[in-house]
Structure 1
Amino acid sequence: MTDKLWGPKELAEYLGVPVHTLYQWRTKRYGPPGRKVGRHVRYRQSEVDAWLDRQKVA
């Protein structure tokens, strides 16, 4: 099974947050783990879902 890779735009749409928020999270080391592919940031769907599962509502 191949894990889908998302760019920031696709991930922002999936999470319902602005793309700018993803970049802020990256600088603060928060949010789903991303990887550099060349000069682009990509997110693995399975890691995003695992990150979401770890989030708790306060």
Structure 2
Amino acid sequence: MKDIQTEPDAEIVDLLADWISREQLAQALGLTADTLSRWEARRQGPPCTRIGRKTYYRRAAVQEWIRAQEQAHPVRKSRGRA
């Protein structure tokens, strides 16, 4: 009797269903992947996980981080002389 095997690709998709790649997140936020990389180095951006050379972000953690960035009265940073 044969066991019914699922396709390997289907398992991988399910495994990463709650995760988004750095490139996908950058596109969704209108940023570059380099900006997210810089934020990671400075520990400013959303929390991430590295698997080999790839960086992934948990969707729920990104949404939580975005909520944490919300300000009641945003303060504009001044440029140049006051």
**Which residue of 2 is the match for residue 36 of structure 1?**
50
Normalising to structure 1: TM-score of the pair? Answer: 0.85
List alignment gaps of at least 5 residues for structure 1.
Answer: none
- Equivalents in 2 of 1:27, 1:8: separation in Å? 14
**Amino acid paired to 2:27:** E
List alignment gaps of at least 5 residues for structure 2.
Answer: 1-14, 76-82
Normalising to structure 2: TM-score of the pair? Answer: 0.62
1:14 correspondence with 2:28 = yes
**Which residue of 2 is the match for residue 27 of structure 1?**
41
Higher RCO, 1 or 2 (CA under 8 Å, sep at least 6)? 1
**Which residue of 1 is the match for residue 18 of structure 2?**
4
> How many residues were matched structurally?
57
How far does residue 38 in structure 1 lie from its aligned partner after superposition? 3.1
Q: Which runs of 4+ in 1 moved over 2 A?
A: none
Over the aligned positions, Cα root-mean-square deviation in angstroms equals 1.6
Which SS does the other structure have where 1:31 is aligned?
Answer: coil
Higher strand share: 1
